[in-house]
Amino acid sequence: MPGWDVHCELAEMLCGIPKDIMNSMNKVIDELTYHDINRIIVKGHWNPLALLHESLFHYENWGYIGIKAALHHHLLDYAATLLTGGKYGYLLKEKVYLGLAVSSVIKFVESVLNHIEEDFTVLTRLSGSLLESEFQNIVENFFEKCKYWDDPKARNEAKRYMYYKTTLVRESSQALIRASKELKDCIKDCIWDLAIFKLWKDHCIVCKNKIEKIEKRKVVKIGFYKAHKKCIIQIKNVIREMLVNNIKTIEIQGRLRKQYILPLSVVKKLISDSSAQSSLTKFLKNTSKIN
């Protein structure tokens, strides 16, 4: 499974999920004794009741961003599992089939998101068996805990509790729909970055040559990737040249990803650094002219 640093970096850089929220979600999902117990995905379909059960906890504690972060964590783990074993793992190792392996895994993950959107769109519109089942669980759990439920105060408390939980189920369902739609726009880039990391974990992310132990001082980290310092300088020079020629950022990203098979999270960092450096250079030149 991806490390927490991988989860946090990709979530923040590509999906706009703050690192502190993602880190909290990593701990909640991975450190519990029933690790990943609610990730019941069969043929691209996540069991709605299992997903809702977990989502209620995340929504109650972190709101919408908690649900988005939890989905991101589970789906990245799911993608990592698909990329590690079976035919997709084999295709990934045979680097010539990188595109086929990744695109196939992306389709699986997107089908999971599509089913979540479909299931919970129905759930928010109708009081179907899933919703009723969840409400029944809520009621039974509450009444088991309530010792004096013949007391008028206890009954009033029960009504307030039920109203709160009913609202929570509906809001959590709406949050799942929204998160599924948003993640569809960024999860494919996360899966690409994850696949590249799996293939070249101990290599320079730019030149793809293996990094030896004696090269330690010549290597720099970009997020959770490694690269030779000279390779980073080379790429930054290429980026600055494109910026000078007024090439749009989106086009620069496309060129670098295609030519060097670079992760988008790395490309974004390099463009940001190069852009800031170019702006500073222009500012210093203009200042010297004024003086």
pLDDT at 283: 41
Interacting residues of 95 by C-beta distance below 8 A, sequence separation 6+? 199
Say if residue 147's pLDDT is above 70. no
Closest C-alpha to 58, from 71, 77, 75: 71
Q: Are 159 and 153 in contact (CB under 8 A)?
A: no
H/E stretch holding 33: none
- CA distances (Å), origin 45, targets 7, 110, 118, 227: 22, 10, 11, 38
Q: CA 175 to CA 158: how far, in whole Å?
A: 25
Distance CA 130, CA 148 (A): 29
- 39-to-35, 160, 186, 207 alpha-carbon distances in Å: 9, 31, 20, 37
Q: Could you say which DSSP state residue 185 is in? A: T
> Is 70 exceeded by the pLDDT of residue 137?
no
For the chain, give every domain's residue range. 4-199, 213-290
- Assign 129 a pLDDT band (cuts: 50, 70, 90): low
Write down the pTM of the prediction.
0.82
The arithmetic mean of pLDDT across residues 41-51, rounded, is 82
Residues 201, 283: Cα–Cα separation, whole Å? 38
Backbone torsions φ then ψ of 153, nearest 5 degrees:
-65, -40
Angle at 108 between CA 176 and CA 10, to 5 degrees: 65
Average the pLDDT over 79-87 and give the result.
Answer: 88
Distance, CA of 57 to CA of 168 (rounded, Å): 10
- pLDDT tens-digit map of 168-205: 888 888 999 999 999 998 999 999 999 999 999 999 99
Q: Residue 46's pLDDT is what?
A: 87
Band of the pLDDT at 149, cuts 50, 70, 90? low
Encode pLDDT of 191-200 as tens digits.
999 999 999 9
For 157, counting Cβ atoms within 10 Å of its Cβ (0-12 exposed, 13-18 middle, 19+ buried), the class is middle
Q: Which of 15-19, 79-83, 149-153 has the lowest mean pLDDT?
A: 149-153
Give the pLDDT band (50/70/90) at residue 157.
low
Amino acid at 58: H
Strand-strand pairing, 219-222 and 225-228: antiparallel
